[in-house]
Amino acid sequence: MNPAARADMESRADRALRRGELTEALGLYESLVRAFPADEGLVLKLANARELLQPAELEVLEAARAEASIPLPMGPSSPVQEGERLFALGDYAGAAACYRRAVQERPDSELLKERLIEIFGLAKAMPLQSPTDRALPDKPEPRLQALLDRVASRRRLKRD
């Protein structure tokens, strides 16, 4: 972090503290202390900001941080799992595309072929609008998941 960015972040933290936005100020001061652990002035400002928070507010803040640090689940590891996930969402066309990829990888599997035929029949009977085409949510994590669903349902078949 360059000196100008540090000064800007410190001034934003000071402003947030003056406005009474203690959680924002605390987050900025913690970022600064992580970047500059030897700066006693920043450590003191962080301690003062923590003292201004009530114990219950601090617990809520820590719980929110712990919840935010939980990583997003990784996508399915195989086309079959992805197909089942899209099938559960009601995106039969996307599920059929995933099962086509699975059949390309394992052409000798009768179970995959049967499931592909079943899902393909459902996909033909469904309207053209996919359930994953709904409006994107406002929160970042659900928005990311919705975008990943869209990408997964529209992934093209592998060409040999």
Tens digit of pLDDT for each residue in 50-77?
888 778 877 777 777 766 666 666 655 6
Predicted confidence (pLDDT) at residue 158 exceeds the cutoff of 50:
no
Domain range list for the chain: 3-68, 79-154
What tokens appear for 145 in the block?
């998941």
Question: Which residue is listed with tokens 């659900």?
Answer: 142
| Least confident stretch, 52-61, 79-88, 126-135 | 126-135
SS3 assignment, position 42 = helix
pLDDT digits (tens, 9 = 90+) for 2-48: 788 888 888 989 998 888 888 888 888 888 888 888 889 889 998 88
The number of beta carbons lying within 10 Å of the beta carbon of residue 68 is 8
